[in-house]
Structure 1
Amino acid sequence: MTTVLIDDLRSFLDGRTAEVARTSAAGIVLLTGHRDRRIEELWLDHDLGGEDTIWPVVEVLERAAFAGHPYDIGVVNVHSANPVGAAKMVQALRHWSYRVRVVTGTAEVGMA
């Protein structure tokens, strides 16, 4: 099972195995590496430090879906503490038929 976490600060507190990206650029590299493989869980934070946000990653997912070849993702978990950013992420990804769960405040991810 492949789990990808894109978050500048948080990690999984239960020690689960995941591929982690701390910036949007690193997140795009991870997604590109999984272009033709399933990602069971994709965890996304909105604010990635400084001026960096998750939007370049969301745009990659949107472009793939627009082209008729969306990423094979079981569920996208949005865990951002930014409620406005989280709502926009959810709206954009659901528009392209990605399965999205809002898990803001979850105890699964946090500062280790």
Structure 2
Amino acid sequence: MAGDTIVQDLEVLATLGHIVVFGFLAGAGETNLQAEAIKHFSKAPTISYSEIYATYFSNFDLVKESLSEVYRLLDEGKVKPVYSTMPLADAAKAHDMIESGKVLGKLVLTPNL
């Protein structure tokens, strides 16, 4: 998510821990990443940025091959995503469950058809 959550991310990071910034859905934030990382220098944290977009644009064939393999493993049942579903009408309950840590994996809200 990035944004200003990096402050909390570094606070809870274990010694020799690694943070992967996968995107900036929350925006870049106002935090000075270098100054914040220096505060946790004794933990020897490492921070990297996801390269999926760079690979997508520079080596699409690799992305396509990789996704084909993931879909094959899903079809064969060798990879089993962790998720649950709830009706969209129960969105408030779903939010409560997420906020209280009662959701494992992803929670998908399904349309009320």
TM over 0.5: no
TM-score w.r.t. length of structure 1 = 0.32
The structure that has the greater radius of gyration is 2
Which structure's residues are more often strand, by fraction? 1
Higher RCO, 1 vs 2 (CA within 8 Å, ≥6 residues apart): 1
Larger relative helix fraction: 2
